[in-house]
Structure 1
């Protein structure tokens, strides 16, 4: 197997994966992605009580709920020292070089299959209009990167919550692994905390299976196949991996590498561990993968004033809103209005009740783009306002119906439209979709060294 040629063509590296040693409580070790439950500190308080003094990925990551707590420097220093401690005390054991086949069960799906690999950050570009092999699906907010880079710059380990998607309708890359999972060494098998399901992981280190995986990826990346598949010309370069989750985490890894490589000797560039990022790859056609909308909650506002401002903002697009009596009435109205493909309808809730916003002649393609364009301008002129991006209608109802808040309900997009939309139109508005509900998000589990 000529791994270098595969590396050059598809930007994949076979990583050395670090996993907790056998006597570690894996349920306490593995915690959900740091960008979840950011307006629910009670969730993270519960996680901390479950973990206690046990070794845990919680102590190696920075939940975003704490970003504004005022002790960021102290927390980052503690994260870095705990990483060194876990390495020195052999809390983590090396497996590999290998891939890890992942089978995740949640309360919403019996199985979602994934593959842990390392990708080459030289093949990834998050800038608008990018034609890179690995590409962002949503706009990257550059202002969100510096605090994340600060966390990574002295870190000895990375823990991925990044999920990349492949468009593999024939199911040639990941699905064949499920058929022979029993032949692989099982490296973990446990329940995830907070009723988030169950996860199994299998080590793949034999040359034949790895060769089959890389060969299947190479076929997906064939330029002629790509152009026929999407009916595009030579002006469109191959998109093999689309970022599904963790866009800003991967952008942080890229920005960190760009800083590091300036001090590398030419002979060090290819082998430096920070050039690569550990990710989970999922097939967009996996039956266990669903796309859910990411809703919005806006805090510290006068709801009626905000709604009137939106009507004024979109006066040329015939925007209006009306109040309704219940969540059920919102759902009924949305179903009726969304049958009209030319208009945009967005539900909302406040402490006074419910309602519908309708934009009859929208200039943007998606409802999320219509809402976000307005919110970006509105927030810019109101410094006390905060927006949070919420998974699940229940959380929107809980937060949006509190005084001086408003919650917005957005429709879901079809996962089958993702690749062609990104290829033809570029990145989507940020926070357009979520891969599953909040409790289905990737949990931190595997680690990889990113320093020499």
Structure 2
């Protein structure tokens, strides 16, 4: 068996006296244009210990006092590790999150081996991003991680586990057991509770189940078009640039370490939550496109002509056709000749079309009603993408490398991961 890519860790938790509604806070890359949300979060945290002191909401990245904020974060990490994070789990944390709509999402907190992850284009490690990584987004995040004693990232990894072999047994074992923590999350985040997974037999069962998901024979059977390629075990569902930042920091550290130190240095791993893409609580929605400054009829004709040129124009009634509903009322369809996913085909067209139309610009829109409203006056062309099947996430990554940018949205902003568990990343 190859070395596992997701392993147990020493996971730190706040003292039971610290209310979750004050401690846990939302992923820092949400509400980036809404400082009022983060002001409300600070008010909700009050004066008590809070994970908000350990992270830098991205709404503040461009503020003039950012260096002072980072210094305060690093100081809080050292202080909290000594005074607040009084509990430790040597293993995993199994958790159940109930969102504002009442959906229950199971997850498993452990550590991703950054040696088995890469965001470099063309690579096929066991752990892969689902979308292209914008390298320019890493340096500001790296400034927070450099010199940090702790991590509490918001990374959510996905497994393609239709039989629920990893999380299902943990949920059944947790039933009736006293949780490590439970309570409400601040500002509409729903509720959460978690249980320690330290029993050696359960830890071994997790390792075996993940190994089976990433086994070559299972990968080849599931993706015959990619048979023989290195298998994919974990795909990044959320927090792509957080994980990329952890990788960048590890690559900076590695040359300063001996080969033996590289095997055990805590920065080699990154804390993350693993979820099953087949969970009913994980909603995957397409992100539509609106092209401003485009005549809808001309845009439709150009798109159809481009598909024909690529030998990709298809009958909308054909089984498996990629269908694009245009706000002018027309439906175009494509084969997989350009890309295995509809969004990839559209992005390839836009990459060719936009440079020839410098007055036009594209935006990424959630919801069909919003697209219709933006295109109502006829000065913009809207393209409604078809429903995005969950299995297409893994299929798209395996067959297409990474998914095109802005392919899908995984839940609402308040459904994202809340910072709760921590881990030391300094020796």
| Structure 2 counterpart of 1:331 | none
Rate the CA distance shift 1:406–1:309 in 2: closer, same or farther, 3 A. Answer: closer
Alpha-carbon RMSD: 3.6
Is the aligned partner of 1:283 residue 2:276? yes
The CA distance in 2 between the partners of 1:148 and 1:216, in whole Å, is: 33
> Which residue among 391, 398, 417 is the counterpart of 1:423?
398
Classify the secondary structure of the residue corresponding to 1:170: coil
Does structure 1 residue 58 correspond to structure 2 residue 52? yes
Report the counterpart of residue 165 of structure 1 in structure 2: 158
Change beyond 3 A, Cα 1:85–1:413:
same
SS in 2 for 1:262: helix
| TM value normalised by structure 1 | 0.80
User: Closer, same or farther in 2 for the Cα pair 1:338/1:290, shift >3 Å?
Assistant: farther
Contact 1:346-1:410 within 8 A present in 2 as well: no
Q: Are the equivalent residues in 1 in contact too, given 2:303–2:349 (CA < 8 A)?
A: no
Deviations 1:1-60 (A, max 9, x none): xxxx6xx43222210011111111211111111111222222222212212322211121
Alignment-derived partner of residue 315 in structure 1:
302
**Which SS does the other structure have where 2:256 is aligned?**
coil
Change (3 A) 1:369 1:203: farther
Partner residue in 2 for 1:128:
121
Aligned-partner Cα distance in 1 for 2:371–2:62: 22
Please list, as runs of the form range in 1=range in 2, the aligned pairs for 1:331-346 lying within 5 A after superposition.
341-345=321-325
2:251 corresponds in structure 1 to 258
Mapping 1:67-146, distance limit 5 Å: 67-88=61-82, 90-146=83-139
Q: Deviations over 1:274-320 (max 9, x none)?
A: 000111111111222221234679xxxxx853x3599679836459x
Residue 408 of structure 1 and its aligned partner are, at CA, apart by 8.3
| Number of equivalent positions | 412
> Which of residues 352, 366, 386 in structure 1 aligns to 2:342?
366
How far apart are the structure 2 equivalents of 1:51 and 1:411?
41
> Is the contact made by 2:157 and 2:238 (CA closer than 8 Å) also made in structure 1?
yes
Match of 1:323 in 2: none
- When residues 407 and 251 of structure 1 are mapped into structure 2, their CA distance, relative to the original with a 3 A threshold, is farther
The secondary structure found in structure 2 opposite 1:270 is helix
Structure 2: which 5+ residue stretches go unaligned?
307-315
Q: Which residue of 164, 167, 170 maps to 1:174?
A: 167
Displacement of 1:150: 1.3
Q: CA deviation at 1:444?
A: 1.0
Q: For each residue in 1:67-99, what CA deviation from the matched residue of structure 2 results, as whole angstroms up to 9, or x when unmatched?
A: 2223322221221111112123x2112412110
- 1:54 and 1:394 mapped to 2: Cα distance? 42
Instruction: Report the Cα distance in structure 1 between the residues aligned to 2:407 and 2:259, rounded to whole angstroms.
Output: 39
